[in-house]
């Protein structure tokens, strides 16, 4: 059915609801947009890490001035996901510039370069990309260029303080003519899958399009009959806490470490250190998971009494300070049904490894807004199908990428033994086969039916980076007897030396930037 969209009601003013409102407004200036949220409710604090596309989305697509953003939101720049310990593997990075490690197929003696990367450089502390060097030196991406100008290495993402970010987005919405209504939706009237109206206790809201951005409450979506694709990941619970930390101790990476029944995160924001434990409740009780989390928090908290290092009574962590989340990894197979579009946690969620939710949903919000604009705000089933395809490709790609972290893991607890070797998807099987056959050269003409062209967010180099660091071999290199020439070794060593020196000499730390240069 053809619908003309002259006004939109977004229910839910969490980050994704506000970003969706801003996206729509940005390229559809005549569409009236309002956001209805029970704004008195505390903003969920979880979810502060992003990936590299966020800069382009915020400062490009949404036209948010970068200087103002830095001044008001005070992000911490993230250069990698730093796997400090993943089931006992040597530590490694998933940096935001992985292709910088990959020689192009056009490089003279490309095979030698690939082989050098395969054998030597992939996780060597002497072969750090600029992102990895930034983490190694605990720097920011900001540096003084040759003529003294302040400049930024741009292959980085953000760690955001949720309250600062959400407050900023609310301000921006008001400035851009989006009305923010403080109200709680308690009733959704439908006719089949079509929303007829939504009501709070004292008000009725009617719109051409409704957006469900109510997070896991799924207030509108749960009134529609839409198939849910359950990924079947066993991870379904998380604990989260914030501890004090000074700017001098900021680590510009999301740190990830495996636990007995899942994994811990460690995200530094401007104000504090955010720690979490994502675990599988089929394998551990909530009480035991909390004890394990306590021990972790104490081990990374500089203020923790050593007596608390084993958790329990001596721990610095009070159970009341810990937030608890539950989720099911999966998504609704159609994000946009009739006159209702679900987005953010209301639409789906994989799990927090690789911090994809906020950035992927912002990207989808921008895609939706662009589609609306390009169709002149008249939409039909073709438009819905196009958007729904983009959404499902996004979730499936994230699922596959996150999945390889588990399927190639080699941990030795019941949880890790079960996820190690699990079947992620047929496509991941084909990615594995391609690595075996062609090694790092992903420019070879692989048939379309492999599904590689459908990958969104993460592409083959991203998969190969994780796989190789988790010990995956490529039969192609294993079967060759390649000698890396002195020339190749010298040029690679020199390239990495220059990167290291540049970061060590020119880059500012987060504290130097905020307290010395920007003077906040
Ligand atoms: C353990 C965990 C870790 C995560 N880590 C990350 C991470 O590192 N990076 C990342 O990008 N994402 C992460 N996420 C996802 C993160 O939660 C989302 O990216 C982000 O919070 C945006 O969510 P949202 O806006 O969809 O929902 P929410 O933030 O939950 O917002 C929903 C809004 O809807 C409103 N609402 C609900 N019901 C009603 C109603 N009836 N009427 C009116 N308003 C209503 C609420 O008040 C709220 O403001 C994580 C999630 C979990 C569970």
Choosing from 35, 44, 47 the residue with most ligand 1 atoms within 8 A of its CB, the one to mutate for a pocket test is: 47
Ligand 1 centroid – CA 252 distance (Å): 23
Ligand 1 centroid – CA 173 distance (Å): 18
Ligand 1 centroid – CA 272 distance (Å): 20
Q: What is d(CA 413, CA 402) in angstroms, rounded to the nearest whole number?
A: 20
pLDDT tens for 246-277 read 999 999 999 999 999 999 999 999 999 999 99
The alpha-carbon radius of gyration of the chain (Å, integer) is 24
Q: What is d(CA 392, CA 399) in angstroms, rounded to the nearest whole number?
A: 10
Domain boundaries, the chain: 3-48+161-232+329-397, 237-326
Backbone angles phi, psi at 492, to 5 degrees: -65, -45
Q: In what order do the strands lie in the sheet with 348-349?
A: 228-230, 330-332, 348-349
The candidate with the shortest Cα–Cα distance to 279, out of 393, 161, 144, 416, is 416
Q: What is the mean pLDDT of residues 58-69?
A: 97
205 pairs with which residues across the strands?
198
The candidate with the shortest Cα–Cα distance to 223, out of 21, 7, 11, is 11
Ligand 1, atom 13: closest residue by C-alpha: 47
Q: What is the mean pLDDT of residues 413-427?
A: 96
Residues framing ligand 1 (Cβ under 6 A): 11-17, 36-38, 41, 44, 46-50, 184-185, 213-215, 217, 219, 238, 276, 325, 327, 344-346, 352, 355, 357-358
Choosing from 10, 12, 45, 51 the residue with most ligand 1 atoms within 8 A of its CB, the one to mutate for a pocket test is: 12
Torsion angle, alpha carbons of 345, 346, 350, 351, to 10: 40
Mapping DSSP to helix (H, G, I), strand (E, B) and coil, where does residue 518 land? coil
pLDDT tens for 437-476 read 999 988 777 766 777 888 888 989 899 999 999 999 999 9
CA distance between the termini of the chain: 53
- Proportion of the chain above pLDDT 90, given as a percent: 80
Torsion angle, alpha carbons of 367, 348, 82, 60, to 10: 20
Mean pLDDT of the chain: 92
Cα separations (Å) of 49 from 130, 163, 283? 19, 13, 27
Handedness of CA 245, 357, 372, 163 (dihedral sign): negative
Region of poorest pLDDT, from 63-72, 224-233, 300-309, 396-405 = 300-309
Q: What is the mean pLDDT of residues 109-131?
A: 90
pLDDT tens for 122-164 read 888 899 999 999 999 999 999 998 888 999 999 999 999 999 9
Q: What is the pLDDT of residue 76?
A: 97
Ligand 1 centroid – CA 15 distance (Å): 7
The candidate with the shortest Cα–Cα distance to 157, out of 58, 72, 90, 11, is 58
3-48+161-232+329-397: CATH topology is FAD/NAD(P)-binding domain (3.50.50)
Q: What is the pLDDT of residue 123?
A: 85
List, as one string, the DSSP characters of 281-292.
TTTS-HHHHHHH
pTM for this entry: 0.95
In this model, does residue 432 exceed pLDDT 70? yes
Ligand 1, atom 11: closest residue by C-alpha: 358
Which residues, including other chains, have CB under 8 Å from residue 142's CB and lie 6 or more apart? 77, 150, 151, 152, 507, 508, 513, 517
The H-assigned helical ranges of 109-161 are 110-116, 130-136
Burial class (CB in 10 A: 0-12, 13-18, 19+), 18: buried
Residue listed under structure tokens 């909530």: 286
Structure tokens at 441: 């050269």
In this model, does residue 178 exceed pLDDT 50? yes
Ligand 1 centroid – CA 115 distance (Å): 43
Which residue has better confidence, 24 or 111?
Answer: 24
Which residue has better confidence, 40 or 9?
Answer: 9
């Amino acid at each position: 059915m053809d619908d003309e969209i002259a006004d939109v009601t977004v229910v839910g003013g969490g980050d994704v609801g506000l970003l969706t409102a801003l996206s729509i407004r940005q390229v559809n200036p005549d569409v009236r947009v309002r956001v209805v949220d029970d704004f008195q409710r505390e903003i969920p604090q979880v979810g502060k890490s992003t990936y590299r596309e966020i800069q382009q989305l915020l400062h490009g697509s949404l036209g948010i001035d970068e200087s103002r953003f830095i001044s008001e939101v005070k992000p911490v720049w993230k250069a990698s996901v730093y796997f400090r310990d993943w089931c006992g593997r040597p530590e490694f990075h998933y940096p935001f510039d992985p292709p910088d490690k990959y020689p192009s197929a056009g490089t003279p003696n490309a095979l030698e370069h690939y082989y050098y990367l395969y054998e030597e450089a992939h996780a060597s502390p002497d072969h750090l990309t600029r992102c990895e060097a930034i983490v190694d030196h605990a720097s920011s991406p900001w540096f003084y260029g040759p003529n003294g100008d302040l400049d930024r290495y741009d292959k980085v993402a953000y760690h955001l303080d949720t309250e600062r970010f959400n407050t900023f987005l609310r301000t921006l919405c008001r400035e851009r003519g989006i009305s923010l209504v403080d109200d709680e939706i308690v009733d959704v009237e439908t006719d089949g899958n079509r929303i007829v109206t939504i009501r709070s206790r004292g008000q009725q809201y009617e719109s051409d399009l409704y957006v469900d951005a109510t997070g896991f409450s799924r207030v509108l979506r749960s009134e529609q009959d839409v198939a849910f694709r359950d990924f079947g990941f066993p991870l379904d619970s998380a604990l989260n806490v914030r501890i004090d930390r000074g700017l001098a101790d900021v680590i510009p990476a999301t740190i990830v470490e495996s636990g007995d029944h899942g994994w811990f995160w460690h995200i530094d924001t401007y104000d504090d250190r955010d720690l979490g434990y994502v675990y599988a409740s089929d394998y551990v009780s909530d009480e035991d998971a909390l004890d394990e989390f306590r021990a972790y928090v104490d081990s990374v908290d500089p203020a923790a009494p050593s007596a608390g290092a084993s958790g329990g009574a001596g721990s610095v962590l009070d159970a009341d300070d810990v937030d608890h989340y539950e989720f099911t990894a999966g998504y609704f197979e159609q994000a946009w049904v009739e006159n209702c579009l679900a987005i953010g946690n209301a639409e789906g969620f994989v799990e927090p490894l690789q911090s994809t939710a906020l950035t992927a949903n912002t990207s989808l919000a921008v895609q939706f807004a662009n589609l609306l604009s390009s169709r002149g705000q008249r939409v039909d089933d073709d438009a819905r199908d196009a958007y729904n395809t983009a959404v499902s490709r996004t979730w499936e790609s994230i699922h596959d990428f996150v999945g390889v972290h588990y399927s190639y893991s080699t941990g030795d607890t019941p949880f890790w033994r079960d996820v190690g070797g699990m079947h992620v998807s047929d496509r991941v099987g084909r990615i594995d086969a391609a690595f075996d056959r062609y090694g790092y050269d992903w420019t070879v003409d692989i048939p379309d039916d492999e599904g590689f062209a459908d990958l969104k967010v993460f592409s083959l180099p991203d998969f190969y980076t994780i796989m190789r660091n988790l010990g995956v071999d490529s039969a192609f290199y294993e079967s060759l007897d390649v000698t890396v020439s002195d020339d190749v070794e010298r040029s690679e060593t020199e390239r990495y030396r220059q990167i290291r020196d540049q970061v060590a000499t020119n880059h500012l730390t987060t504290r130097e930037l905020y307290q010395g240069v920007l003077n906040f």
